[in-house]
Amino acid sequence: MHKSRGVAMRVYVSVDMEGVAGVVSWDQVTPGKSDYMHARGWMIEEANAAIAGAFDGGARHVLVNDSHNGMRNLLPHELDPRATLVSGGLKDYGMMAGLDDTFAAALFIGYHARGGGPGVLAHTWSSRVIGVRLNGQEVGEWGLNAMIAGAFGVPVVMVTGDDCLAKEVREGLPGPVETVVVKRALTKYAAENLPRAAALEAIREGAARALRKVREIPPFRPQPPIALEVDLNATQLADSAAMMPKAERVGPLTVRYTAEDGLEAFRAFLTFMALAAYAD
Ligand SMILES: [Zn+2]
């Protein structure tokens, strides 16, 4: 039986924070800062809306991965008790930890637009990164993470965040991916937000709708060999990243790695990030 039509459809939910309705500043997404506890509550509400929508849409198991900062934002006792929670920061594939080929679909909640483009708190992994390309296609975290899912044969069927993210995903991921816009970016640090209740309803309904069309949405699989190119915001960061075996320096700020598959490309990206941080 096809895994998306089985009696035990498994759904994977990766939850970030910058794209949550109401969030417009780094302080709100930084543990320990004054507004963080409010934004954390909104993040949990949006995760719960996605879980509820997934069950409405036919899921029998939902795994939620806390995908922001230290990855301990989602409080287990406040999460829908039907879902399991991957919590904590040191984990293989990071924002996609716990995913494997038994899942029918992945949902990205609270995501944000790519670094170097418009959008609320737009970035890709780090402020040091000003561009990431896969075979020449500009992507954000949504693309890197969709590539991991694609390597396991899992399609990304819904993404939630601001209007800039929605535009990037509609242009960048295959198939009729559900994009739920919970805020309209005015600048990097300002947005017109949906009322909280409306955002939660849109996420719940979007998740159910997305899962009903799961078979229409193919996994995101850049053609191998995959050329991963990363633009950094200072030459010493590229100097350092280029020391990775098999890396190529293709510009003053740009390093390239050619990978056999999506999992290798993502590991190369993480290694670039570690080396770049070393030279900061
Ligand atoms: Zn984040």
Task: Check whether residue 164 and residue 268 sit in a common domain.
Answer: no
pTM beyond 0.85, yes or no: yes
What is the CA(5)–ligand 1 centre distance, in A? 32
What is the CA(67)–ligand 1 centre distance, in A? 7
Q: List, run by run, the mean pLDDT of 10-residue segments along the chain (280 residues).
A: 64 98 98 95 98 98 97 97 96 95 98 97 96 98 98 98 98 98 98 98 98 97 98 98 98 98 97 94
Query: Can you give the residue range of the structural domain that contains 198?
Result: 10-127+139-216
Q: Give per-residue burial for 24-38: e unless 16+ CB within 10 Å, then b.
A: bbeebbeeeeeebee
Task: Check whether residue 185 and residue 230 sit in a common domain.
Answer: no
How far out from the chain centre does Cα 222 lie? 17
Task: Check whether residue 160 and residue 96 sit in a common domain.
Answer: yes
Predicted pLDDT of residue 82: 98
Task: Check whether residue 182 and residue 108 sit in a common domain.
Answer: yes
Provide the number of structural domains found in the chain: 2
Task: Check whether residue 241 and residue 120 sit in a common domain.
Answer: no
Distance CA 108, CA 34 (A): 26
What is the CA(142)–ligand 1 centre distance, in A? 11
Task: Check whether residue 61 and residue 196 sit in a common domain.
Answer: yes
What is the CA(124)–ligand 1 centre distance, in A? 9
Task: Check whether residue 258 and residue 153 sit in a common domain.
Answer: no
What is the CA(261)–ligand 1 centre distance, in A? 25
What's the 3-state SS for the chain? Answer: CCCCCCCCCEEEEEECCCCCCCCCCCHHHCCCCCCHHHHHHHHHHHHHHHHHHHHHCCCCEEEEEECCCCCCCCCHHHCCCCEEEECCCCCCCHHHCCCCCCCCEEEEECCCCCCCCCCCCCCECECCEEEEEECCEECCHHHHHHHHHHHCCCCEEEEEEEHHHHHHHHHHCCCCCEEEEEEEEEECCEEEECCHHHHHHHHHHHHHHHHHCHHHCCCCCCCCCEEEEEEECCHHHHHHHCCCCCCEEEECCEEEEEECCHHHHHHHHHHHHHHHHHCC
How far out from the chain centre does Cα 172 lie? 13
**Closest to 132 in 3D by CA, of 231, 199, 17:** 231
What is the CA(141)–ligand 1 centre distance, in A? 9
CATH number at residue 191: 3.40.50.10780
Other Cβ atoms within 10 Å of 90 Cβ, number = 8
Query: Looking at the domain assignment, is residue 5 inside a domain?
Result: no
CA atoms within 13 A on the CB side of 98: 20
What is the CA(68)–ligand 1 centre distance, in A? 4
Query: Looking at the domain assignment, is residue 221 inside a domain?
Result: no
- Quick one: CA dihedral 192, 167, 5, 102, positive or negative? negative
Predicted pLDDT of residue 34: 87
Task: Check whether residue 145 and residue 90 sit in a common domain.
Answer: yes
Catalytic-role residue among 2, 68, 77, 123: 123
What is the CA(69)–ligand 1 centre distance, in A? 6
Task: Check whether residue 163 and residue 54 sit in a common domain.
Answer: yes
Q: Which domain-ending residue is among 216, 246, 265? A: 216
Query: Looking at the domain assignment, is residue 251 inside a domain?
Result: yes
Q: Which domain-ending residue is among 166, 182, 216? A: 216
The answer to whether 123 is a known catalytic residue is yes
CATH number at residue 235: 3.30.1360.130
Query: Looking at the domain assignment, is residue 132 inside a domain?
Result: no
Query: Looking at the domain assignment, is residue 2 inside a domain?
Result: no
